[in-house]
Amino acid sequence: MIKDHISHSQIQTGRCMLKYKKLVIDEEYHTGNERQTLGNCVHKIVYTYGKHLLKEKMDADYDAMVKIIDHYFDEFNLSENLYRDVRKALILFGERGMSFEKVLDLEKLWKIEFSKGKFIYAVIDRINTYQVGSKTIIEIIDYKNHLNILSKTDVDNHEQLALYRYLACRFIHKGFDKVRVGIHHLMHNWITWGEMRSIDDLGREFEAMEGYLLRQYARLLEKGNFEPTMGNQCYEYGGCPILLDGKCPLFKKKKVEEIYRSNDVKSMVTIIRTMDMHRQQMIDRVKDLVKDKTFFEVEGKLAGYVPGDSYSYDAAKVIDFCKRYNVSCDLKDFNVKSVERLFKDYFKPDYKGIEPEIVKLRIIKKSTRFSYK
Ligand code: SF4
Q: Is 229 in the pocket of ligand 1 (CB under 6 A)?
A: yes
- Alpha-carbon gap, residue 247 to 241, rounded angstroms: 9
DSSP 98: -
- Answer yes or no: is the C-beta of 256 below 6 A from any ligand 1 atom: no
CA of 373 to the centre of ligand 1 (A): 21
Alpha carbon 72 to chain centroid distance? 20
Mean pLDDT within 29-46 = 80
Give the integer Cα–Cα distance in Å for 90 and 87: 5
Pocket test for ligand 1, best of 16, 232, 258 (most atoms within 8 A of CB): 16
Domain ranges in the chain are: 6-217, 301-371
Tell me the CATH number for domain 6-217: 3.90.320
Contact assessment for residue 321 and residue 229, using Cβ atoms and an 8 Å cutoff: no
> Would you say the C-alpha torsion 346, 347, 352, 357 has a positive or negative sign?
negative
Condensed to tens digits (0 to 9), the pLDDT of residues 195-249 reads: 999 999 999 999 999 999 999 999 998 877 899 998 888 877 767 889 888 889 9
For 287-313, give one letter per residue: b (16+ CB within 10 A) or e. eeeeeeeeeeebeeeebbbeeeeebbb
- Per-residue pLDDT tens digits for 94-135: 887 788 899 999 999 999 999 999 999 999 999 999 999 999
This model's pTM is above 0.75 = no
| Backbone dihedral angles phi then psi of residue 128, each to the nearest 5 degrees | -110, 160
